[in-house]
Amino acid sequence: MPRDIRLVDSITQPKDSQGTVIIAGSHGGISSGRYAAQLGLTGIVFNNAGVGKDDAGIESLSYLEELGLPAATVDNQSARIGDGADMARDGVISHINDVAADCGCEVSQSALECAATMHDAGVKPVQEDVGSEMTQSKVEDGEIPVWTLDSIGLISDEHEGAITVTGSHGERLAGEFDSYIQADVAGITLFDAGVGKDDAGIGRIRTMNDRGIPAATVGVDSARIGDSKSALDEGVLSHVNDIAAELGVEPGDSCSSFVERVREAEKQ
Protein backbone atom coordinates (compact mmCIF):
# COMPACT_ATOMS: atom_id res chain seq x y z
CA MET A 1 0.00 0.00 0.00
CA PRO A 2 1.41 3.46 -0.81
CA ARG A 3 2.42 5.07 2.46
CA ASP A 4 0.20 8.09 2.03
CA ILE A 5 -3.09 6.22 1.69
CA ARG A 6 -4.73 6.42 5.09
CA LEU A 7 -7.58 4.43 6.60
CA VAL A 8 -9.85 6.21 9.08
CA ASP A 9 -13.20 5.31 10.60
CA SER A 10 -14.48 8.89 10.31
CA ILE A 11 -13.52 11.84 8.13
CA THR A 12 -13.62 13.94 11.31
CA GLN A 13 -10.53 12.11 12.66
CA PRO A 14 -7.54 13.02 10.45
CA LYS A 15 -5.45 16.06 11.38
CA ASP A 16 -2.17 16.26 9.46
CA SER A 17 -3.27 14.70 6.16
CA GLN A 18 -1.98 17.16 3.56
CA GLY A 19 -1.31 15.44 0.25
CA THR A 20 -2.78 12.07 1.21
CA VAL A 21 -5.59 9.87 -0.10
CA ILE A 22 -8.03 8.75 2.58
CA ILE A 23 -10.39 5.78 2.76
CA ALA A 24 -12.95 6.92 5.32
CA GLY A 25 -15.74 4.99 6.99
CA SER A 26 -17.98 8.06 6.79
CA HIS A 27 -21.06 8.40 4.58
CA GLY A 28 -20.63 10.23 1.30
CA GLY A 29 -23.12 12.97 2.14
CA ILE A 30 -22.49 16.68 1.87
CA SER A 31 -21.33 17.15 5.47
CA SER A 32 -18.57 14.55 4.97
CA GLY A 33 -17.53 16.27 1.78
CA ARG A 34 -17.16 19.55 3.65
CA TYR A 35 -14.89 17.93 6.21
CA ALA A 36 -12.80 16.38 3.43
CA ALA A 37 -12.50 19.69 1.58
CA GLN A 38 -10.60 21.22 4.50
CA LEU A 39 -7.89 18.56 4.75
CA GLY A 40 -5.66 19.17 1.72
CA LEU A 41 -6.32 15.70 0.29
CA THR A 42 -5.50 14.33 -3.15
CA GLY A 43 -8.38 11.81 -3.06
CA ILE A 44 -11.14 10.42 -0.85
CA VAL A 45 -13.22 7.25 -0.70
CA PHE A 46 -16.44 7.21 1.36
CA ASN A 47 -19.31 4.74 1.98
CA ASN A 48 -22.44 5.36 -0.11
CA ALA A 49 -24.69 4.78 2.93
CA GLY A 50 -27.39 3.20 0.77
CA VAL A 51 -27.47 6.36 -1.42
CA GLY A 52 -30.97 7.24 -0.19
CA LYS A 53 -33.23 10.21 -0.78
CA ASP A 54 -32.10 12.65 -3.47
CA ASP A 55 -28.89 10.59 -3.82
CA ALA A 56 -27.72 12.30 -0.62
CA GLY A 57 -25.39 9.45 0.31
CA ILE A 58 -23.14 10.34 -2.63
CA GLU A 59 -23.72 14.11 -2.71
CA SER A 60 -20.15 14.86 -1.67
CA LEU A 61 -18.90 13.51 -5.00
CA SER A 62 -20.36 16.35 -7.05
CA TYR A 63 -19.45 18.89 -4.36
CA LEU A 64 -15.82 17.77 -4.35
CA GLU A 65 -15.78 17.52 -8.14
CA GLU A 66 -16.33 21.28 -8.29
CA LEU A 67 -13.27 21.71 -6.06
CA GLY A 68 -11.15 19.41 -8.24
CA LEU A 69 -10.85 16.54 -5.75
CA PRO A 70 -11.24 12.93 -6.94
CA ALA A 71 -13.88 11.21 -4.81
CA ALA A 72 -15.62 7.85 -4.78
CA THR A 73 -17.92 5.73 -2.63
CA VAL A 74 -18.07 2.03 -1.88
CA ASP A 75 -21.32 0.08 -1.84
CA ASN A 76 -22.69 -0.13 1.71
CA GLN A 77 -23.44 -3.81 1.17
CA SER A 78 -19.76 -4.51 0.46
CA ALA A 79 -18.20 -2.86 3.53
CA ARG A 80 -19.24 -1.65 6.95
CA ILE A 81 -19.83 2.05 7.36
CA GLY A 82 -17.78 3.49 10.21
CA ASP A 83 -14.96 0.99 9.65
CA GLY A 84 -12.08 2.21 7.50
CA ALA A 85 -10.21 -1.10 7.64
CA ASP A 86 -13.24 -3.07 6.45
CA MET A 87 -13.77 -0.51 3.67
CA ALA A 88 -10.18 -1.00 2.53
CA ARG A 89 -10.36 -4.80 2.80
CA ASP A 90 -13.77 -5.48 1.25
CA GLY A 91 -15.13 -2.25 -0.23
CA VAL A 92 -16.30 -2.26 -3.86
CA ILE A 93 -16.61 1.10 -5.61
CA SER A 94 -20.19 2.05 -6.45
CA HIS A 95 -19.85 5.67 -7.61
CA ILE A 96 -17.06 8.00 -8.73
CA ASN A 97 -16.95 11.67 -9.69
CA ASP A 98 -15.58 12.92 -12.98
CA VAL A 99 -12.26 13.95 -11.45
CA ALA A 100 -11.77 10.40 -10.18
CA ALA A 101 -12.75 9.03 -13.59
CA ASP A 102 -10.13 11.26 -15.22
CA CYS A 103 -7.59 9.73 -12.83
CA GLY A 104 -8.52 6.25 -14.12
CA CYS A 105 -10.82 5.16 -11.30
CA GLU A 106 -13.70 2.84 -12.21
CA VAL A 107 -16.91 1.54 -10.67
CA SER A 108 -16.44 -2.05 -9.39
CA GLN A 109 -12.79 -1.46 -8.47
CA SER A 110 -11.78 -2.35 -4.95
CA ALA A 111 -11.52 0.60 -2.58
CA LEU A 112 -7.76 0.11 -2.33
CA GLU A 113 -7.34 -0.02 -6.11
CA CYS A 114 -9.35 3.16 -6.44
CA ALA A 115 -7.35 4.94 -3.72
CA ALA A 116 -4.06 3.84 -5.30
CA THR A 117 -5.23 5.11 -8.67
CA MET A 118 -6.06 8.50 -7.13
CA HIS A 119 -2.64 8.56 -5.43
CA ASP A 120 -0.74 7.76 -8.61
CA ALA A 121 -2.60 10.43 -10.60
CA GLY A 122 -0.73 13.17 -8.71
CA VAL A 123 -3.70 15.50 -8.32
CA LYS A 124 -2.97 18.82 -6.62
CA PRO A 125 -4.13 18.77 -2.96
CA VAL A 126 -7.47 20.48 -2.36
CA GLN A 127 -7.93 22.59 0.76
CA GLU A 128 -10.88 24.92 1.23
CA ASP A 129 -12.12 26.86 4.26
CA VAL A 130 -15.73 25.70 4.56
CA GLY A 131 -16.24 26.24 8.29
CA SER A 132 -19.27 28.45 7.79
CA GLU A 133 -20.97 25.63 5.88
CA MET A 134 -20.77 23.19 8.81
CA THR A 135 -24.27 23.79 10.07
CA GLN A 136 -25.88 23.47 13.44
CA SER A 137 -28.93 25.29 14.69
CA LYS A 138 -30.93 25.53 17.88
CA VAL A 139 -34.45 25.06 16.53
CA GLU A 140 -36.25 25.05 19.88
CA ASP A 141 -35.17 26.76 23.08
CA GLY A 142 -36.38 26.30 26.62
CA GLU A 143 -35.55 23.86 29.39
CA ILE A 144 -34.94 21.05 26.88
CA PRO A 145 -33.57 22.65 23.72
CA VAL A 146 -33.60 20.94 20.34
CA TRP A 147 -30.60 21.18 18.03
CA THR A 148 -30.07 20.09 14.46
CA LEU A 149 -26.43 19.23 13.70
CA ASP A 150 -25.27 17.96 10.33
CA SER A 151 -22.52 15.94 12.03
CA ILE A 152 -22.17 14.42 15.49
CA GLY A 153 -18.64 15.80 15.34
CA LEU A 154 -20.26 19.15 16.18
CA ILE A 155 -21.73 17.89 19.46
CA SER A 156 -20.06 19.57 22.45
CA ASP A 157 -20.73 20.48 26.07
CA GLU A 158 -23.09 23.14 24.74
CA HIS A 159 -25.53 20.35 23.82
CA GLU A 160 -25.59 18.68 27.24
CA GLY A 161 -29.22 17.85 28.09
CA ALA A 162 -30.48 18.80 24.63
CA ILE A 163 -32.24 16.70 22.02
CA THR A 164 -29.95 16.39 19.02
CA VAL A 165 -31.16 15.59 15.51
CA THR A 166 -28.08 14.78 13.42
CA GLY A 167 -27.14 14.11 9.83
CA SER A 168 -24.59 11.42 10.79
CA HIS A 169 -24.80 7.67 10.21
CA GLY A 170 -25.84 5.50 13.14
CA GLU A 171 -22.94 3.04 13.34
CA ARG A 172 -20.46 3.01 16.18
CA LEU A 173 -16.96 3.59 14.86
CA ALA A 174 -14.75 0.52 14.69
CA GLY A 175 -12.81 0.23 17.96
CA GLU A 176 -15.16 2.64 19.70
CA PHE A 177 -15.97 0.99 23.01
CA ASP A 178 -17.85 3.81 24.72
CA SER A 179 -19.24 6.47 22.45
CA TYR A 180 -18.06 9.12 20.07
CA ILE A 181 -20.91 11.37 21.21
CA GLN A 182 -19.23 13.97 23.38
CA ALA A 183 -22.11 15.06 25.64
CA ASP A 184 -24.89 13.43 27.62
CA VAL A 185 -27.71 14.53 25.37
CA ALA A 186 -31.38 13.99 26.24
CA GLY A 187 -31.97 12.14 22.99
CA ILE A 188 -30.43 11.65 19.57
CA THR A 189 -31.38 10.64 16.06
CA LEU A 190 -28.97 9.47 13.37
CA PHE A 191 -29.36 7.96 9.92
CA ASP A 192 -29.50 4.21 9.33
CA ALA A 193 -27.16 4.51 6.29
CA GLY A 194 -29.20 1.88 4.49
CA VAL A 195 -28.18 -0.50 7.32
CA GLY A 196 -25.80 -2.31 4.98
CA LYS A 197 -23.19 -5.00 5.60
CA ASP A 198 -23.46 -6.78 8.97
CA ASP A 199 -26.38 -4.48 9.84
CA ALA A 200 -23.92 -1.65 10.20
CA GLY A 201 -25.53 1.75 10.21
CA ILE A 202 -27.53 1.24 13.42
CA GLY A 203 -24.92 0.07 15.94
CA ARG A 204 -24.57 3.34 17.81
CA ILE A 205 -28.18 3.49 18.96
CA ARG A 206 -27.58 0.32 20.97
CA THR A 207 -24.59 1.89 22.72
CA MET A 208 -26.90 4.70 23.80
CA ASN A 209 -28.87 2.16 25.86
CA ASP A 210 -25.84 1.86 28.14
CA ARG A 211 -25.89 5.61 28.73
CA GLY A 212 -29.66 5.75 29.23
CA ILE A 213 -30.16 7.92 26.16
CA PRO A 214 -33.15 7.40 23.85
CA ALA A 215 -31.89 7.03 20.30
CA ALA A 216 -33.31 6.24 16.88
CA THR A 217 -32.28 6.08 13.25
CA VAL A 218 -33.95 7.86 10.37
CA GLY A 219 -34.36 5.86 7.16
CA VAL A 220 -32.12 7.16 4.36
CA ASP A 221 -34.98 6.93 1.87
CA SER A 222 -37.10 9.32 3.95
CA ALA A 223 -34.61 12.17 4.43
CA ARG A 224 -31.21 13.29 3.15
CA ILE A 225 -28.26 11.85 5.09
CA GLY A 226 -25.84 14.61 6.09
CA ASP A 227 -28.73 17.09 6.35
CA SER A 228 -30.11 17.36 9.89
CA LYS A 229 -32.88 19.78 8.93
CA SER A 230 -34.15 17.25 6.39
CA ALA A 231 -34.06 14.60 9.14
CA LEU A 232 -36.22 16.72 11.44
CA ASP A 233 -38.65 17.90 8.77
CA GLU A 234 -39.02 14.73 6.69
CA GLY A 235 -37.40 11.84 8.54
CA VAL A 236 -39.22 8.59 9.33
CA LEU A 237 -37.71 6.35 12.01
CA SER A 238 -36.45 2.93 10.92
CA HIS A 239 -34.97 1.63 14.21
CA VAL A 240 -35.21 2.64 17.86
CA ASN A 241 -33.22 1.59 20.91
CA ASP A 242 -34.69 0.10 24.07
CA ILE A 243 -34.76 3.41 25.95
CA ALA A 244 -36.71 5.09 23.15
CA ALA A 245 -39.08 2.13 22.91
CA GLU A 246 -39.85 2.47 26.62
CA LEU A 247 -41.05 6.01 25.85
CA GLY A 248 -43.45 4.65 23.23
CA VAL A 249 -41.31 5.54 20.22
CA GLU A 250 -41.68 3.08 17.32
CA PRO A 251 -40.26 2.53 13.84
CA GLY A 252 -42.51 4.39 11.41
CA ASP A 253 -42.87 7.41 13.70
CA SER A 254 -41.70 10.75 12.37
CA CYS A 255 -38.43 12.19 13.60
CA SER A 256 -40.33 15.22 14.90
CA SER A 257 -42.58 12.96 16.98
CA PHE A 258 -39.46 11.38 18.53
CA VAL A 259 -38.38 14.87 19.58
CA GLU A 260 -41.75 15.62 21.17
CA ARG A 261 -41.93 12.27 22.96
CA VAL A 262 -38.48 12.73 24.47
CA ARG A 263 -39.26 16.29 25.51
CA GLU A 264 -42.44 15.15 27.24
CA ALA A 265 -40.55 12.40 29.06
CA GLU A 266 -37.81 14.77 30.19
CA LYS A 267 -40.37 17.17 31.65
CA GLN A 268 -41.97 14.52 33.85
pLDDT for the residue numbered 153: 85
pLDDT for the residue numbered 267: 81
The residue out of 81, 98, 121 marking a domain boundary is 121
Count of structural domains, the chain? 2
**Domain co-membership, 174 together with 227:** yes
User: Quick check: 118 and 42 in contact, CB under 8 A?
Assistant: yes
pLDDT for the residue numbered 1: 46
Q: What is the Cα–Cα distance from 248 to 237, expressed in whole angstroms?
A: 13
**Domain co-membership, 83 together with 148:** no
The residue out of 72, 90, 121 marking a domain boundary is 121
pLDDT for the residue numbered 15: 82
Question: Running DSSP on this structure, what letter comes out for residue 193?
Answer: T
**Domain co-membership, 253 together with 172:** yes
Q: What is the pLDDT of residues 156-177, one digit of tens each?
A: 999 999 999 999 999 988 766 5
Ranges of residues in the chain with a pLDDT under 70 are 1-3, 131-134, 175-180
Cβ contacts of 8 within 8 Å, gap of 6 or more: 14, 22, 23, 24, 25, 84
Buried b or exposed e, range 72-97, using 16+ CB within 10 angstroms: bbbbbebbbbbbbbbbbebbbbbbbb
In a domain, 23, yes or no: yes
**Domain co-membership, 145 together with 247:** yes
**Domain co-membership, 143 together with 45:** no
Cβ contacts of 142 within 8 Å, gap of 6 or more: none
Q: Which neighbouring-strand residues pair with 148?
A: 137, 165
Cβ contacts of 156 within 8 Å, gap of 6 or more: 182, 183
In a domain, 127, yes or no: no
- Domain extent for 45: 5-121
Q: What is the pLDDT of residues 173-191, one digit of tens each?
A: 876 655 568 899 999 999 9
The residue out of 121, 146, 162 marking a domain boundary is 121
Q: What is the Cα–Cα distance from 240 to 214, expressed in whole angstroms?
A: 8
**Domain co-membership, 166 together with 193:** yes
Q: What is the pLDDT of residues 226-268, one digit of tens each?
A: 999 999 999 999 999 999 999 999 999 999 999 999 999 988 7
Q: What is the Cα–Cα distance from 42 to 100, expressed in whole angstroms?
A: 10
In a domain, 130, yes or no: no
Q: Is the pTM of this model over 0.75?
A: yes
**Domain co-membership, 114 together with 159:** no
**Domain co-membership, 151 together with 234:** yes
In a domain, 204, yes or no: yes
